[in-house]
Amino acid sequence: MSSWPNGTSSLSTTRPLAATPAAEEAAVRPREESLAQLGSVRIARRVLRTVVEQAALSVPGVARMAADHGRRGLLGWSDARRSVHLEVHGETVGIDLYLIAAPGASMVDTGTAVQDAVGAAVEHILGMGVSAINVYIQDVA
pLDDT 10s digits, 75-101: 555 555 579 999 999 889 999 999 999
Supply the DSSP string of 11-27, one letter for each residue. Answer: ------SS--HHHHHHH
CB 131, CB 96: distance < 8 Å? no
Domain ranges of the chain: 42-140
Average pLDDT over residues 125-134: 94
Average pLDDT, the chain: 76
pLDDT 10s digits, 25-51: 444 445 555 556 788 888 889 999 999
- Which comes out higher in pLDDT, residue 14 or 122? 122
Domain 42-140, CATH class in plain words = alpha beta
Strand pairing category for 84-89 and 92-101: antiparallel
CB 100, CB 138: distance < 8 Å? yes
What's the DSSP call for residue 110? H
What's the DSSP call for residue 82? G
Residue 69: pLDDT above 50? no
Categorize the per-residue pLDDT at 141 as very low, low, confident or very high, splitting at 50, 70 and 90.
Answer: confident
Range scoring the smallest mean pLDDT among 3-12, 48-57, 94-103, 130-139? 3-12
CB 54, CB 48: distance < 8 Å? no
